Amino acid sequence: MDQPNAIPVCYYELPTTPRISWPNKNPGRNFFGCKNYRYSYGFRNIYCYFFNWFDHPISLRARAVAIGLLRRIRSKEMEKRRERMRWFFGSVAIVIMVCIMK
């Protein structure tokens, strides 16, 4: 990975922060992004769409591997979420049944 020489500033002249992209199109790529990217300050919306890649694009094979790993992680996370929901609703059902029986 190439290390940048200087931290770029966004369109609002604010220093940007290094981030990692996770969408399927560019998984694992490093970029600088504005902290105000699609951010709202109360009733004021300050949007800054500045970003700047600071590494080289990954190969098609590496992208395919990264996408596959991301899918597996997301699948496991959804499985855990469903399990927690089952436990929660099961517990609620038991509490309701106990309250009704009294």
- pLDDT by residue, tens only, the chain of 102 residues: 455 567 889 888 889 988 888 777 777 788 898 887 765 555 566 678 888 888 777 788 887 888 888 889 989 999 999 999 999 999 999 999 999 987
Helix (H, G, I), strand (E, B) or coil at 11: coil
99 φ, ψ (degrees, to nearest 5): -65, -40
What's this model's pTM, rounded to 2 decimal places?
Answer: 0.52
pLDDT in the model for residue 80: 96
Helix (H, G, I), strand (E, B) or coil at 35: coil
Cα-based distances in Å from 27 to 33, 39, 42, 43, 47: 15, 22, 31, 33, 23
pLDDT in the model for residue 14: 86
- Residue 10, judged by CB atoms within 10 A of its CB (0-12, 13-18, 19+), counts as buried
Where do the structural domains in the chain lie, given as residue ranges? 1-57, 59-102
